[in-house]
């Protein structure tokens, strides 16, 4: 066939669509996490910074202390002072902020709680924690962020250690409400929806393009096919004649012998049947992926027979096969009676010597003329 | 039509998680609470637990009844879980265990031997050692982290 390329076979389009969709989906999934991380960082960075500064403030307040825990426990005024300051950090995003210590039994207990009165924990009140990160804080000695998946009203908890002489003495705990995360999730959902919409738009566009392409191909095929013989028609010849590489083909022009007599004797219906069967024989004889059979007009046909090299014998074997298959085929004009049709063939064995297809065709047509004039039912090679 | 169905499917899948709002978000907390109270009551009693919760709401009743044998009144119960502050005077029978959902109430009222409550949106459990002893309650080691010696604090 003359048309070669990525769009020749429809499944190539499906592969391209699949690659595009997979790529976009992976980008959405990948960037969703990146965007979430960035927005979260922007939304919480200041608050985390304030929490770290507050832990430094606590250290500063307790700079003369030898035991942070005991001094806070013993000094009510100090506790009230810390609580007053800690309360100022409560915002719409920070739900709770409090100061804990861990006793000798590894139980966390309250020292200072910035929560409103009705939610405030008592001094030394036990606080149950389930996440191991709370304990990791004592070895890491660095702030730790805990993301909650099971708690209904908290999104994250930020633990800031207050270190004294290399040991974590206190833990400043900041619980973030779900509002921050909810807002971040809303933004991400919006971005994700936009990307999904874009993806759907691309998919729909590809689907429409694919449908149009199939329709176009179907129409093109229809406009290039002779309905009676299923061979290519003259439109197709016009389409390819300037593009075809003449050095790759041998050109054969075929004419059904005495076709007018068949039409006159048996009628146009039988004439059409002969043409149809003739087309079937050609299609079954040529190499369908390499050779091109065209109904040139009436009972005249052109066959481009592919050759691998200029001296290849294969095209002539194909021509011989066409000639004998037509000759040996019984064309039934009714259930009992049949006729044998013969064909005259003119061959241009060296089309590459011609400047263009029309000249090459003339050589083959001239050979056909010679075959007709020398008694028909012949192959004439020029 | 196929394109419309496809678009609808994509839309529905994209927004599917929004249907979570149809579920009451507090049901999960009540469910967890009911499971914990049920476990504590069974661990504290030597017989099957029949629990009375004064002034229980319909929503709580619905969830609690999945995990607990609820008593209609204080007299027929052997475990009282006080969630809402007041307990009627008739509910003084000594053959009952009293549990609360408030830490301050636990500290201030010796009747209660323990509490389950939400502190900083986290579930917390406290038993007071002396009161466990007073009520002859022996809990398994599993409960050790939740037992407090109030005098030592």
The CATH number given to whatever domain includes residue B121 is 3.40.50
Lowest-pLDDT choice from A107-111, A138-142, B82-86, B149-153: B149-153
A152 and B CB contact within 8 Å: yes
Residue pair A374/A380 in contact (Cβ under 8 Å)? The answer is yes
Beta carbons of A125 and B103 less than 8 Å apart:
yes
Which tokens belong to A360? 């090459």
Domain, as residue range, for B130: 2-148
Query: What per-residue confidence (pLDDT) applies to A295?
Result: 97
Which tokens belong to A224? 């290039």
Per DSSP, the three-state class of B68 is: coil
Region of residue A297 (phi > 0: left; psi between -120 and 50: alpha; otherwise: beta): left
**DSSP assignment of A209-255:** HHHHHHHHHHHHHHHTB-TTT-SB-HHHHHHHTTTS-GGGEEEEEEE
Residue pair A147/A169 in contact (Cβ under 8 Å)? The answer is no
Q: How far apart, in Å, are the Cα atoms of B22 and each of A350, B19, B121? A: 81, 6, 22
| CA–CA gap between residue A137 and residue A19 (Å, rounded) | 45
Q: How far is A96 from chain B (nearest CA, A)?
A: 7
Q: How many percent of chain A have pLDDT more than 70? A: 94
Assigned domain for B17 exists: yes
Of B103, B105, B100, B108, whose CA–CA distance to B119 is shortest?
B103
Long-range contacts of B138-145, Cβ-Cβ distance < 8 Å, separation of 24 or more? B139/B43, B139/B44, B140/B43, B143/B43, B145/A107, B145/A128
With 50 as the cut, is the pLDDT of residue B152 above it? no
Question: Which has the higher per-residue pLDDT, B90 or B110?
Answer: B110
A43-62 tens-digit pLDDT: 778 878 888 999 999 999 99
Assigned domain for B87 exists: yes
**Which among A115, A152, A173 is the nearest to B28, CB-wise?**
A152
Query: What per-residue confidence (pLDDT) applies to A204?
Result: 86
Residues of chain A contacting residue B121, judged by C-beta atoms under 8 Å apart = 95-96, 151-154, 175
Query: What per-residue confidence (pLDDT) applies to B13?
Result: 60
Residue pair B153/B133 in contact (Cβ under 8 Å)? The answer is no
A21 and B CB contact within 8 Å: no
Assigned domain for B153 exists: no
A203-230 tens-digit pLDDT: 888 888 888 988 998 898 889 999 999 9
Assigned domain for B59 exists: yes
What sign does the CA torsion over A144, A150, A151, A155 have? positive
Q: How many domains does chain B have?
A: 1
Lowest-pLDDT choice from A1-5, A266-270, A377-381: A1-5
A299 labelled catalytic = yes
Tell me which of A32, A119, A183, A299 is the catalytic residue. Answer: A299
Assigned domain for B65 exists: yes
Predicted ipTM > 0.90: no
B14-30 tens-digit pLDDT: 555 444 444 455 677 88
With 90 as the cut, is the pLDDT of residue A120 above it? yes
Please identify among residues 261-290 of chain A the ones whose CB lies closer than 8 Å to any CB of chain B: none
Residues of chain A contacting residue B103, judged by C-beta atoms under 8 Å apart = 121-122, 125
What sign does the CA torsion over B139, B145, B146, B148 have? positive
Band of residue A271 on the pLDDT scale cut at 50, 70, 90: very high
A34 and B CB contact within 8 Å: no
């Amino acid at each position: 066939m003359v048309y070669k390329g990525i769009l020749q076979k429809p499944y190539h389009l499906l592969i391209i669509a699949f690659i595009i969709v997979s790529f976009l989906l992976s980008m959405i999934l990948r960037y969703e996490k990146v965007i979430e991380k960035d927005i979260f960082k922007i939304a919480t960075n200041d608050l985390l910074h304030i929490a770290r500064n507050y832990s430094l403030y606590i250290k500063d307040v307790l700079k003369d202390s030898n035991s942070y825990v005991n001094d806070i426990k013993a000094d009510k005024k100090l506790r009230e002072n810390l609580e007053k300051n800690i309360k100022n950090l409560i915002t719409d995003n920070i739900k709770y902020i409090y100061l804990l210590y861990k006793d000798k039994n590894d139980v966390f207990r309250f020292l200072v709680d910035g929560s409103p009165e009705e939610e405030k924990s008592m001094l030394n009140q036990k606080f149950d924690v389930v996440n191991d990160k709370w304990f990791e804080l004592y070895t890491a000695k660095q702030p730790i962020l805990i993301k909650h998946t099971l708690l209904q009203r908290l999104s994250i908890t930020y633990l800031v250690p207050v270190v004294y002489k290399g040991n974590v003495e206190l833990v400043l705990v900041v619980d973030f409400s779900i509002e921050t995360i909810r807002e971040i999730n809303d933004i991400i959902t919006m971005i994700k929806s936009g990307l999904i919409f874009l993806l759907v738009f691309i998919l729909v566009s590809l689907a429409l393009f694919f449908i149009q392409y199939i329709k176009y191909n179907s129409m093109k095929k229809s406009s290039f096919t002779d309905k009676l013989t299923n061979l290519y028609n003259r439109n197709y010849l016009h389409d390819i004649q300037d593009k075809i590489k003449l050095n790759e083909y041998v050109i054969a022009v075929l004419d059904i012998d005495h076709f007018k007599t068949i039409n006159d004797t048996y009628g146009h219906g039988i004439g059409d049947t002969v043409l149809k069967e003739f087309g079937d024989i050609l299609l079954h004889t040529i190499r369908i992926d390499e050779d091109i059979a065209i109904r040139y007009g009436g009972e005249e046909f052109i066959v481009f027979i592919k050759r691998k090299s200029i001296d290849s014998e294969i095209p002539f074997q194909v021509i011989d096969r066409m000639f004998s298959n037509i000759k040996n085929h019984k064309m039934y004009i009714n259930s009992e009676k049949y006729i044998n049709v013969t064909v005259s063939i003119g061959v241009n064995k060296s089309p590459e010597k011609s400047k263009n297809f029309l000249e090459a065709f003339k050589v083959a047509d001239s050979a056909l003329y010679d075959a007709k004039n020398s008694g028909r039912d012949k192959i004439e090679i020029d | 039509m196929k394109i419309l169905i496809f678009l609808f499917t994509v839309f529905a899948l994209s927004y599917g998680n929004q249907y979570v709002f149809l579920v009451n978000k507090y049901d999960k907390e009540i469910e967890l609470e009911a499971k914990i109270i049920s476990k504590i009551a069974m661990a504290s009693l030597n017989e099957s637990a029949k629990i009375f919760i004064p002034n229980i709401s319909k929503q709580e009743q619905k969830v609690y009844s999945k995990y607990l044998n609820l008593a209609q009144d204080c007299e027929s119960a052997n475990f009282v879980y006080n969630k809402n502050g007041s307990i009627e005077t008739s509910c003084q029978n000594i053959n009952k265990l009293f549990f609360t959902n408030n830490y301050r109430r636990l500290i201030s009222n010796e009747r209660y031997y323990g509490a389950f409550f939400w502190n900083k949106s986290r579930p917390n459990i406290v038993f007071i050692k002396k009161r466990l002893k007073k009520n002859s309650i022996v809990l398994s080691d599993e409960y050790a982290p939740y037992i407090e010696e109030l005098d030592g604090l």
